[in-house]
Amino acid sequence: MAQYETMNPATGVRAAAIDEGLRAHMNKVYGTMSIGMVITALAAWAISGLATTTDPSVATAQLANGKLLTSFGEMIYGSPLRWVIMFAPLAFVFGFAAMINRMSAATAQTVFYSFAAVMGVSLSSIFLIYTGFSIIQIFLITAIAFASLSLWGYTTKKDISGWGAFLIMGVVGLIIASIVNLFLQSSGLMFAISAIGVLIFAGLTAYDTQKIKNDYIAHAAHGDTEWLGKAAIMGALNLYLDFINMFIFLLQLFGSRE
């Protein structure tokens, strides 16, 4: 990683201003990401609540684990609509990345929060599969791991920019393998995908944190507040995806099923 002094020629008061701005930028990144996580959690909880019932008189279907589905739950989990819900976040991410340069920072933030809600709908099915205690437990483990990895990525003097290409190739491989396993339903392949996924997104957490920091330092001197605003949203999106994916893969590995 290029050192602060080599990336920014400013000294004294200017250097202190850049350092203060970096802290504010990172706070915005983490704050935006955190709000997105809350939106996702609320959306997932609300949708799962609408999809399930404890009243047999209003249930229209029953899962193998005994959960009762409402007509709404049967529609989103048992009809072809489930494929739309499953792949909607992926389409949302690609579309967001392609269009963000034409958005204002305020619009980009709104789109990010909308994406977080869509992700919550997609993740709502975990409440049908795993116990509530297990979900909370894995979430806390993920939060501790994420905080540690992000802190290391922010403070390390080691240049980890070279990890990027390898990690992105790994993500592409995970997506392809996951789609293939939708049809194969192989428990062995699922275990391998989950284990490798945890490692890849752990690496991406540190990599993305360092990249957010370096990008800010490289561009802060230009005073482009609009760019910095959108950069904070994209940084929040990247870290949000790292957290969510690490959580899902850890849940698949260690979660207790209903």
pLDDT of residue 27: 94
pTM, full prediction: 0.89
What is the residue range of 72's domain?
A: 4-254
In this prediction, what percent of the chain has a pLDDT beyond 70?
Answer: 90
Count of domains observed in the chain: 1
- Inform me whether the pLDDT recorded for 109 exceeds 90: yes
- Inform me whether the pLDDT recorded for 13 exceeds 60: no
Amino acid at 137: Q
8 Å CB contact between 89 and 119:
yes
DSSP state of 103: S
Q: Decide: residue 120, CB within 10 A, 0-12 exposed, 13-18 middle, 19+ buried.
A: buried
Q: Decide: residue 68, CB within 10 A, 0-12 exposed, 13-18 middle, 19+ buried.
A: middle
DSSP SS3 for 175? helix
In this prediction, what percent of the chain has a pLDDT beyond 90?
Answer: 60
CA distances from 124 to 15, 148, 210 (A): 46, 27, 31
- According to DSSP, the residues that pair with 68 across neighbouring strands are 53, 62
Token pair recorded at residue 31? 């704050």
pLDDT tens-digit readout, 71-88: 998 899 888 998 899 889
Token pair recorded at residue 185? 């339903």
pLDDT of residue 8: 46
DSSP state of 101: G
- Report the residue count for the chain: 258
Token pair recorded at residue 181? 């396993």
**Average per-residue pLDDT for the chain:** 88
Q: Which of 28-37, 57-66, 215-224 has the highest mean pLDDT?
A: 28-37
